[in-house]
């Protein structure tokens, strides 16, 4: 009987397991292996041990000054981390929108749909629109700004504005999206009686938020935060490719774009795999830290 179930289960699982092994598990292991080689895809791969890791993470003292061997990597890692700061902002906006939408209002579904539009259409089509909106010479933003006498910057071509501009676009697109929908579900799970009791005790709206809504939503917030961070480390490819080509001067290159360039533009397969493996470790460690320190503080209601 048990044996029979094993066979049945195997048959059910086989298509998915096959894909899982060939397109996920094996590639993960292969990426580790590949990171030990130098390979331009056209010639035979050459085993070089940990050299790629030294090149990526190592440093030298030249003229008595500290220098990374690959300063680009650290810069692009910095860019990626910079984008992560959009997450708390975007989450706060999502929560606020969700609380407002959670009231008994007319047209709730309509507004939810409208807020969700950017998430649905977030893609090449929408990025092209933003490229136009942000254009320094004939973009809509600078045109509107010029009407009130402000000479707007080249949003995507100015070194200091490029990252915040892309961040702003991410927040615009993300605040009414998945996070808001999950928050809405979380809010609906909070028992009404809690608020009624608080109201009898004379608690105002802010107090109710601090002592009921926020603590009761902690697991939801934690879930959104963890998944957003994982996704955040892999963000920015489409925006870099379509809007800025990673520029100006690498200001908007994220690790994903850097890996893509090394692998499929310069054909440094081994080096690209090395960056990918390091990215994997970063995501893994950050997620572990999140679970360890965030997971414990969360109050599961």
Partner 1 sequence: MGKIVLTRSRRRQIVHAFSYTFLITVGVTMLFPFFWMLITSVKSRYADPLDLNKLLPETVWQISANDIRNWTEIFNKLNRADRLMDSSALKTIWTAMDPNEQRKIGSVVTRGKYGEEDKKMLVTGLNQILLNEKLWKNEEVAAVLRPEERAVITNSSPLGKENRIKINRMIIDALFPEEIQKAHRYHWRNYRTVFVEINFYRAILNSFFVTLMITVGQVFTSSLAAYAFARLNFFARDHIFLGYLATLMVPGTVTMIPVFIILRELGWINTYYALIIPPLFSAYGTFMLRQFFLSLPRAVEEAAILDGCNAFRVYWHVILPLSKPGLSALAILTFIGSWRSFMWPLIVSHSDNMYTLPIALSLFQSFYEIEWTLLMAGSIIMIAPMLLVFIIGQRYFIEGIQLGAVNG
Residues 136-195 that bind partner 1 (CB under 8 A): 137-138, 140, 143, 172, 176, 178, 181-182, 184-186, 189
**Nearest CA-CA partner of 102 in 185, 215, 163:** 185
Closer residue to partner 1 (CB): 48 or 242: 242
Q: Does position 197 bind partner 1 by CB under 8 A?
A: no
* Footprint (CB under 8 A) of partner 1, residues 57-96: none
Q: Does position 103 bind partner 1 by CB under 8 A?
A: yes
The whole-angstrom separation of Cα 299 and Cα 81 is: 28
Please pick, from the candidates 36, 56, 86, 97, the single residue that binds partner 1 as defined by CB under 8 A: 97
Q: How many CB atoms lie within 10 A of CB 257?
A: 24
Q: Does position 133 bind partner 1 by CB under 8 A?
A: yes
* CA dihedral (210, 212, 215, 219) positive or negative: negative
The pair of structure tokens assigned to 268 is 């440094």
Q: How many CB atoms lie within 10 A of CB 1?
A: 5
Identify whether the C-beta of residue 94 lies closer than 8 Å to the C-beta of residue 177.
yes
Give me the 30-49 binding string for partner 1, x by CB under 8 A, dash otherwise: xx--x------x--------
DSSP 8-class letter at 46: E
The pair of structure tokens assigned to 150 is 């402000």
Identify whether the C-beta of residue 195 lies closer than 8 Å to the C-beta of residue 212.
yes
Please pick, from the candidates 56, 101, 162, 166, the single residue that binds partner 1 as defined by CB under 8 A: 101
Q: Using alpha carbons only, give the angle 46, 237, 269 rounded to the nearest 5 degrees.
A: 5
Q: Does position 27 bind partner 1 by CB under 8 A?
A: yes
As beta bridge partners, residue 67 has 60
Stretch that binds partner 1, among 48-56, 67-75, 160-168, 265-273 (CB under 8 A): 265-273
Please pick, from the candidates 17, 197, 210, 289, the single residue that binds partner 1 as defined by CB under 8 A: 17
Please pick, from the candidates 241, 247, 248, 294, the single residue that binds partner 1 as defined by CB under 8 A: 241
Q: Does position 126 bind partner 1 by CB under 8 A?
A: yes
Q: Does position 16 bind partner 1 by CB under 8 A?
A: yes
């Amino acid at each position: 009987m048990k044996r029979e179930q094993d066979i049945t289960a195997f048959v059910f699982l086989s298509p998915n397991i096959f894909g899982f092994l060939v397109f996920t598990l094996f590639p993960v292991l292969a990426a580790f292996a590949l990171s030990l080689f130098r390979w331009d895809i056209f010639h035979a791969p050459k085993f070089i041990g940990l050299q790629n890791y030294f090149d990526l993470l190592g440093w030298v003292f030249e003229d008595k000054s500290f220098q990374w061997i690959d300063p680009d990597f650290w810069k692009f890692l910095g860019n990626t981390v910079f984008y992560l700061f959009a997450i708390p902002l975007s989450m706060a906006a999502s929560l606020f929108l969700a609380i407002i939408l959670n009231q008994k209002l007319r047209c709730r579904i309509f507004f939810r749909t409208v807020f969700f539009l950017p998430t649905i259409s977030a893609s090449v089509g929408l990025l092209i629109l933003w490229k136009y909106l942000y254009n320094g010479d004939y973009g809509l933003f600078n045109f509107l700004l010029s009407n009130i006498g402000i000479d707007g910057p080249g949003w995507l071509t100015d070194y200091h504005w490029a990252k915040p501009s892309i961040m702003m676009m991410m927040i615009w697109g993300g605040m009414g999206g998945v996070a808001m929908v999950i928050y809405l579900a979380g809010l609906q799970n909070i028992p009404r009686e809690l608020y009624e009791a608080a109201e009898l005790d004379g608690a105002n709206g802010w107090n109710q938020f601090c002592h009921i809504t926020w603590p009761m939503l902690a697991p939801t917030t934690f879930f959104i935060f963890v998944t957003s961070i994982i996704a955040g480390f892999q963000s920015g490819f489409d925006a870099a490719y379509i809007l800025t080509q990673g520029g100006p001067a690498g200001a908007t290159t994220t690790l994903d774009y850097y890996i893509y360039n090394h692998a499929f533009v310069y054909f440094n397969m081994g080096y690209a795999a090395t960056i990918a493996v390091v990215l994997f470790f970063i995501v893994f460690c950050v997620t572990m830290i999140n679970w360890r320190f965030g997971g414990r503080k969360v109050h599961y209601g």
